Amino acid sequence: MSSSPSISVVLPTYNCRHLLGAHLHSMQAWLDLAHEVIVVDSRSTDGTLELIRQELHHPGLRIIERDRGLYASWNEGIAATTGDWVYISTAGDLITREQLQHLREVGEALTADVVVSPPAFTHEDGRPHRDLGWPPAKLLTAFGQGRPFVMQPEATQLLAFQNCPNAILGSSAANLYRGTHLRARPFPTEYGVVGDTAWIIRYGHETRLALTPQAGSTFCIHEKESQLTPEQCVELHRRLIDHESARLREATQLSPRLTNLLGEQDQPVHTKRLWAEKRRLWHTPDSRVVNKLRWLAVTSRYLWNRLRDKRQARRTMQALQTNRALFTHLSH
């Protein structure tokens, strides 16, 4: 019996049989590290569960069947776990045995609540996809010094808002969560597909987040069933910022730095609105000169606002970099 801290695996599925062959094969390399495997299937109709029952064998396997709901499914599976650490194994997203062990080692060494690593990106057929420039890689460049490190909750919260609507968690399938921390903090379900972003924004003020430069996972770029319009993206961003900043103010005493940052969050939301408007004008069939002039005016305002937002983000990053007490690096 291993004396290492235990790992629970949550495998959420819905009509993903076409991805499961390679996924289940990849899991075999590290399945013995798992204390238990919780499959949460949202009543698949394509043979997903049949394939899992045929190919996935583990003494701690449990299968939960429930109605659809992306993060609601995650939450039900997470609530059923008992391990020291929780790994969310989303279909098509792969991790190596060495990486899973590394995440656990970093989490234990730095007493982290979640350990984040940057994934590589692939298409569903396995072809490499271009790097999407997600926040974890940028944070490692800014603060990592080439080593794993953990940030204090104040820094976690600041950077979560600073990077919204992108999640500083990156992909949960590249990460490892401390079980007690995650089970007490379910993923928000009211923000559609950006529950990862909402989770770290909601709980950042009480989360020690670690990042490691070591890579050993892939994130699969799927075709989405439905695509949000630019206007819907802007509204989702605004609602997330408004609701979660109000919730945070009620939950805790804010630092002056975070108070200032929250007061400036209307600016990037406005920039997003300009982005949506310039896209709409560009794609409109109206080719009149007045419409093109309007597009030029909106685009100019968008570029100026984006430059201002980048300057503000740079100032925030520089202020954090000078506060060494917020970051602890793993010794060589």
CB atoms within 10 A of CB 95: 24
Residue 114: φ, ψ to 5° = -150, 140
Token pair 């439905």 is found at 226
Q: In this predicted structure, what is the pLDDT of residue 222?
A: 80
Token pair 């300009």 is found at 274
Can you give the residue ranges of every domain in the chain? 7-221, 230-329
Q: In this predicted structure, what is the pLDDT of residue 2?
A: 56
**Do 87 and 176 contact (CB within 8 A), yes or no?**
yes
Q: In this predicted structure, what is the pLDDT of residue 225?
A: 55
Report the first-to-last Cα separation within the chain, whole angstroms: 29
The model's pTM is 0.91
Q: In this predicted structure, what is the pLDDT of residue 297?
A: 94
Whether 127 shows a pLDDT value over 80: the answer reads yes
Whether 230 shows a pLDDT value over 90: the answer reads no
The mean pLDDT of 39-62, rounded to a whole number, is 96
Q: In this predicted structure, what is the pLDDT of residue 267?
A: 85
- Poorest-confidence range of 1-5, 149-153, 237-241, 246-250? 1-5
Q: In this predicted structure, what is the pLDDT of residue 70?
A: 92
**Do 12 and 93 contact (CB within 8 A), yes or no?**
no
d(CA 216, CA 103): 10
The model's pLDDT over 101-126, given as tens digits with 9 standing for 90+, comes to: 999 999 999 999 999 999 999 998 88
35-70: buried (b, 16+ CB within 10 Å) or exposed (e) per residue? Answer: bbbbbbbbebeeebbebbeeebeeeebeebeeeeeb
1 confidence band (pLDDT: 50, 70, 90): very low
Cα→Cα distances 241→206, 235, 252, 270, Å:
18, 10, 16, 12
Residue 179: φ, ψ to 5° = -60, -50
The mean pLDDT of 217-237, rounded to a whole number, is 83
Whether 143 shows a pLDDT value over 60: the answer reads yes
User: What's the distance, CA 119 to chain centroid?
Assistant: 11
187 confidence band (pLDDT: 50, 70, 90): very high
The mean pLDDT of 223-248, rounded to a whole number, is 84
Average pLDDT over all residues of the chain: 92
The more confident residue out of 83 and 250 is 83
- Short-list 137, 156, 138, CA closest to 209: 156
d(CA 328, CA 31): 31
The model's pLDDT over 6-17, given as tens digits with 9 standing for 90+, comes to: 999 999 999 999
Q: In this predicted structure, what is the pLDDT of residue 317?
A: 87
19 confidence band (pLDDT: 50, 70, 90): very high
The mean pLDDT of 8-30, rounded to a whole number, is 95
One of 3.40.50.1370, 3.40.190.10, 3.90.550.10, 2.40.30.10 is the CATH number of 7-221, namely 3.90.550.10
Q: In this predicted structure, what is the pLDDT of residue 223?
A: 72
Q: In this predicted structure, what is the pLDDT of residue 287?
A: 66
